[in-house]
Amino acid sequence: MTEKADAKSGNSDGYPLAGLKVLDFSRVLAGPFAGRMLSDLGADVVKIEPPDGDITRLWGHVVANIPGYYHQQNAGKRDICIDLRAEGAIALVAELVAEADILIENYRPDVMPRLGLGYDALQAINPRLIMLSISGFGQGGPESHRAAYAPIIHAEAGLMHRQAARGNVPLTDLPLSIADTNASLHGLVGLLSAVILRERTGRGQHIDIAMIDATIATDDQVHYAIEDSEGLGPLPNEVFETAAGTVLLSADLRYIWHLFTTKLGVSDPTNKDMDLATKIGLRRDAAAQLMAKLATWDEVEATMAKVNLAWGKVRDPATLMDQPTVAARGAITQVDDRAGGTRPITQSPYRFSNADSGVRGPAPHRGEHNVEVLGQWLGKSEALVAQLTKAGVLHAEVSVD
């Protein structure tokens, strides 16, 4: 994995998606994450940001006026800040659309058509345009009007209920925005499929991704619910304390107990006259006593190797950069922090045998590339960009570089 591509110029020789031009109208996560992955793969991704900015500019540790959440999802992109309500703004967008391969948006389904930027209008400008629309409940359905962030879909798709029921914990949201990232990744599959199809047909596509569809499609446990077979699934994995720290064993207690008694010599403290709950409790305690005697991670690994059990250290995410594989593979890397140093960021997960991928630079300021992109994509002069700025079509925050 290299970082030789220059996001500012769009040069990405050696990257799989080199040459693709992407307009990213999205905000928060479901759309921006898709755009970030396209950038990591070499596309020239231009974020179209409103004057009040993506709300994620308010979240996370701020370095050089760029907060961490926004930085992670928008690294490597360029940025044009357009007030879509200003006179002349839609005409400028139309010029950009004429040059684009892909457009990403994650507004509610009525927003882009109301702005004059619905797919029918954009296709008339550029028949080869591939448009990805991500929304909570999809286009044209009974709930298309509803606003939806990831927690709404976690609730509606049953994830919160399952978490509470299986873990015997209060109802609470998941600790990551899985509905957003699932929709984003399925959107990427759709986009790249449409790019391949366009090579055969010459036509673009409008891809309608509903977050609820993507979440259900990616839910490997949903069949237990829809076939009323929850009781036929595997028992939960077991978590034990060792002297080295907390460990998760990827197996249920029945299998763990079989291995501990047959391979590690643990004695069964139960008898045939005990009820099942008592037997389970005593056997779990006996297994826990063995695990508690393991003093180091080397002992944990050696013991688990004897019984061929997969195990994992229950890690504080603040120590993630110390995880051996994360460190060895560079899953968290460092990029320019725009303040004379570097800052950590998640790296592209794609590893190619004969191509490049990877984060291609820090996230942009609002309107940072107004002059650059409009010059490169549309041939507009700095003077014309200045006129558009004076007219209120374009905006730019003061850079701290």
Assigned domain for 281 exists: yes
- Final residue in a domain of this structure, among 313, 333, 352: 313
Looking at the domain assignment, is residue 11 inside a domain?
no
307, 173: one domain:
no
Angle between helices 382-390 and 370-378 (to 10 degrees): 120
Question: What CATH number has the domain bearing residue 93?
Answer: 3.40.50.10540
- Global pTM reads 0.90
Given this model, what pLDDT does residue 280 score? 94
Of the candidates 180, 208, 219, 356, the residue annotated as catalytic is 180
Two tokens at 247? Answer: 């460990």
Residue 57 pLDDT > 80 = yes
Note whether 58 and 158 are same-domain residues: yes
Q: What is the pLDDT of residue 149?
A: 94
356 catalytic per annotation: no
pLDDT value for 11:
53
* Per-residue pLDDT, 397: 87
Examine the fold and report which residue of 272, 290, 313 is the final residue of a domain before the chain moves on.
313
397 compared with 247, residue with greater pLDDT: 247
Q: Are residues 170 and 118 in the same domain?
A: yes
Kindly state the average pLDDT of the residues 297-302: 97
User: What band does 1 get if pLDDT is binned at 50, 70 and 90?
Assistant: very low
52 is in which domain, residue-wise? 21-222+363-395
- Does 60 score more than 80 pLDDT? yes
Give the pLDDT score at 4.
Answer: 43
Shared domain check, 58 and 92? yes
Judgement on whether residues 151 and 275 belong to the same structural domain of the protein: no
Whether residues 58 and 98 share a domain: the answer is yes
Residue range 235-241: mean pLDDT, rounded:
94
Q: Tell whether 142 is covered by a domain.
A: yes
- Total domains in the chain come to 2
Phi then psi dihedrals of residue 62, to 5 deg: -100, 125
Does 159 map to a domain? yes
201 shares its domain with 119:
yes
Domain co-membership, 217 together with 97: yes
The pLDDT-based confidence of 299 (bands split at 50, 70, 90) is very high
Average the pLDDT over 378-385 and give the result. Answer: 97
The verdict on residue 320 lying in a domain is no
Note whether 161 and 300 are same-domain residues. Answer: no
Mean pLDDT value of segment 127-145:
96
Identify the pLDDT of residue 31.
95
Residues 253 and 208 both lie in one domain:
no
Residue 241, domain member (yes or no)? no
- Given a cut of 50, whether residue 400 has pLDDT beyond it is no
Indicate the pairing of strand 102-105 with strand 21-24. parallel
Are residues 162 and 41 located together in one domain of the fold? yes
Interval 173-225: pLDDT, tens: 999 999 999 999 999 999 999 999 999 999 999 999 999 999 999 999 999 99
Burial class (CB in 10 A: 0-12, 13-18, 19+), 281: middle
Per the CB < 8 A criterion, the answer to whether 66 and 335 are in contact is no
Domain assignment present for 380:
yes
Segment 326-356, tens digit of pLDDT? 999 999 999 999 999 999 999 999 999 999 9
If you search the block for the tokens 């004695």, which residue do you land on? 267
Q: Does some domain include residue 261?
A: yes
Residues 115 and 257 in one domain: no
Residue ranges with strand state E in 152-305: 205-210, 238-241, 246-249
